[in-house]
Amino acid sequence: MTIREAQDTVDQWIKTVGVKYFSELTNLAILTEEVGELARLMARQYGDQSFKESDNGRELGDEMADVLWVLLCLANQTGVDLTTALQKNLDKKTQRDSERHRNNPKLQ
């Protein structure tokens, strides 16, 4: 599935199953919540925190997909084509950081 297809799929789901989009600010709050859930699982799986019983059954991929879902919603609501935005962002990073990371002694 391409990013464009993902945006279209989420849009169709919202319009048929989800009834309508939550407001942009509500979705921003939900995105923050979903990123927090991802961070919590990462801290337990890769960090120093121990798992709690409430963490049982949570999967990293599912938490990442939740973040992506809400981001796709926000892109649809605000008229952002994420394919174009991602390509533009990649071009910017490539120009800006073409030598920066190669010359970083921390990455050697």
Q: What is the dihedral of CA 3, 92, 27, 62, to 10 degrees?
A: 50
Query: For residues 83 and 6, is the Cβ–Cβ distance under 8 A?
Result: no
User: What would the pLDDT profile of 20-72 be if each residue is shown by its tens digit?
Assistant: 999 999 999 999 999 999 999 999 999 999 998 988 899 999 999 999 999 99
- The CATH architecture to which 3-107 belongs is Orthogonal Bundle (1.10)
Residue type present at position 84: T
Domain boundaries, the chain: 3-107
Q: List all residues 6 or more positions away from 15 whose beta carbon is below 8 Å from its beta carbon.
A: none
Cut 0.85: pTM above it: yes
Q: How many CA atoms lie within 13 A of 73 on its CB side?
A: 22
Cα–Cα distances in angstroms (integers) from residue 43 to residues 59, 69, 80, in the given order: 13, 22, 31
